[in-house]
Amino acid sequence: MLPVSDQLRVVSLVPLADPAVQQIKQLDTTIEVVDATGWFDGELRETWGDHTANEYLRPGSEGSASREERDALLADTDVVIGGFPMPVDLRARAPRLRWVHQTPAGASNLNKCDIWESDVLVTTSRGFGNTLAIAEYVMASFLYFSRNLHQAEVDERDGTFSRAGYRPVLLAGKTVCILGAGGIGQEVGRLCAALGMRVVGTKRSTAEPLPEGFEMLAPPDRLNELLAEADFVAVCCQWTPETHDLMNAEALAAMPDGAVLANVARGEIIDEAALIPELDRLGGVALDVYVGEFDRLPPSELWHHPKVVVTPHVSGGADSRSARPIELFCRNLEALLAGRPLENVIDWSRGY
């Protein structure tokens, strides 16, 4: 069992529904849950900038506690559950901190924070978020371009209205290559297979049984081979030093003419400078992410291209939220108290 003080303080920087709070408290009588939602908004705005703050924080929020109150709170905190953005100096201000759980799936959200590569256990919700919503975004992107729906916007802009510009293709029978067959990638593969597509993909480890719908998984060093036969490509992997610019000039050139590319991972996985010259020959590009998305608007060469759709990281949105990140947190908290290993602990050597 994990030795605890008189109270184990869990500070939540994201809103928790009352049933979730009660579920956490029922794990041990020593647990104190503090809802600090919005407390840090002022300093988050200062450290992450207005662009990020305006996208992810409550409009106009400057925080609901003083710096002294926030420091006092963190000084006695054992566990933090947070979203994005996160305080960048959390480790320095929380000497008792044992574990941080991030509700988003991407570990790279935290590489600006001092908990990155620290002695604190850090977990993410990789594979437990709104994976179905993200997979549906990918399918919507594929259908948007395969049915030439982007041509309607071109026609409206140019004042033309003709069937001549439409060259729709069926998804059924086409090959999709999925970069990263984790939680999101597997959901994309399942939906693609349900529409009759041939599904191949890359994964660091290919020893496990093939996920539902996949015909083949290959290591990343065979990516260009898979891209050469892909009509559709979905980028779903984590952003790490290994995957930075994974879709480089050589990889993009390997994609056939008319292929459609969707990125729901991180912008830095695609070399945007290499992508721009390829746009005219590709069938379409859907980017829910782009390089520098937390600091600026999309580059105009992408944003205004008729074959590109750029959205502000909304692929995980839906009319209902997955409860699985909190369920994972509760499972891990129970494991922490019992001295058992936690799920989804970031491996700093891998970067996720």
What are the pLDDT digits (tens) for 153-209? 889 988 999 898 899 999 999 999 999 999 999 999 999 999 999 999 999 887 778
Residue 247 backbone phi and psi in degrees, to 5: -85, 75
- Are 212 and 233 in contact, with CB atoms under 8 Å apart? no
Same domain for 333 and 252, yes or no, is: no
pLDDT given at position 73 = 96
Same domain for 257 and 144, yes or no, is: yes
Asked if residue 349 belongs to a domain, the reply is no
Same domain for 117 and 205, yes or no, is: no
Same domain for 82 and 203, yes or no, is: no
User: CA-to-CA distance for 211 and 234, rounded, in angstroms?
Assistant: 16
Residue 80 backbone phi and psi in degrees, to 5: -125, 135
CATH, residue 158: 3.40.50.720
Residue 113 backbone phi and psi in degrees, to 5: -100, 155
Same domain for 210 and 105, yes or no, is: no
Same domain for 119 and 206, yes or no, is: no
Same domain for 30 and 100, yes or no, is: yes
User: CA-to-CA distance for 351 and 240, rounded, in angstroms?
Assistant: 5
Asked if residue 287 belongs to a domain, the reply is yes
Asked if residue 300 belongs to a domain, the reply is yes
Same domain for 281 and 331, yes or no, is: no
Same domain for 158 and 262, yes or no, is: yes
User: CA-to-CA distance for 177 and 220, rounded, in angstroms?
Assistant: 12
pLDDT given at position 164 = 85
Asked if residue 347 belongs to a domain, the reply is no
Task: Give the global pTM.
Answer: 0.89
pLDDT given at position 320 = 81
Q: Name every residue whose Cβ is closer than 8 Å to that of residue 213 and which is 6 or more positions away in sequence.
A: 189, 190, 191, 192, 193, 194, 199
* Structural domain containing residue 268: 131-310
pLDDT given at position 3 = 44
Same domain for 271 and 124, yes or no, is: no
Q: Name every residue whose Cβ is closer than 8 Å to that of residue 179 and which is 6 or more positions away in sequence.
A: 185, 201, 202, 223, 233, 234, 235, 236, 237, 246, 247, 265, 269
Asked if residue 344 belongs to a domain, the reply is no
Full 3-state SS string of the chain = CCCCCCCEEEEECCCCCHHHHHHHHCCCCCEEEEECCCCCHHHHHHHHCHHHHHHHCCCCCCCCCCHHHHHHHHHCCCEEEECCCCCCCHHHHCCCCCEEEECCCCHHHHCCCCCCCCCCEEEECCCCCCHHHHHHHHHHHHHHHHCCCHHHHHHHHHCCCCHHHCCCCCCCCCEEEEECCCHHHHHHHHHHHHCCCEEEEECCCCCCCCCCCEEEEECHHHHHHHHCCCCEEEECCCCCCCCCCCECHHHHHHCCCCCEEEECCCHHHECHHHHHHHCCCCCEEEECCCCCCCCCCCCHHHHCCCCEEECCCCCCCCCCCCCHHHHHHHHHHHHHHHCCCCCCECCCCCCC
Which residues in the chain land under pLDDT 50? 1-5
Q: What percent of the chain clears pLDDT 90, i.e. is strictly above it?
A: 82
Asked if residue 3 belongs to a domain, the reply is no
- Are 46 and 21 in contact, with CB atoms under 8 Å apart? no
User: CA-to-CA distance for 321 and 201, rounded, in angstroms?
Assistant: 27
pLDDT given at position 1 = 40
pLDDT given at position 237 = 96
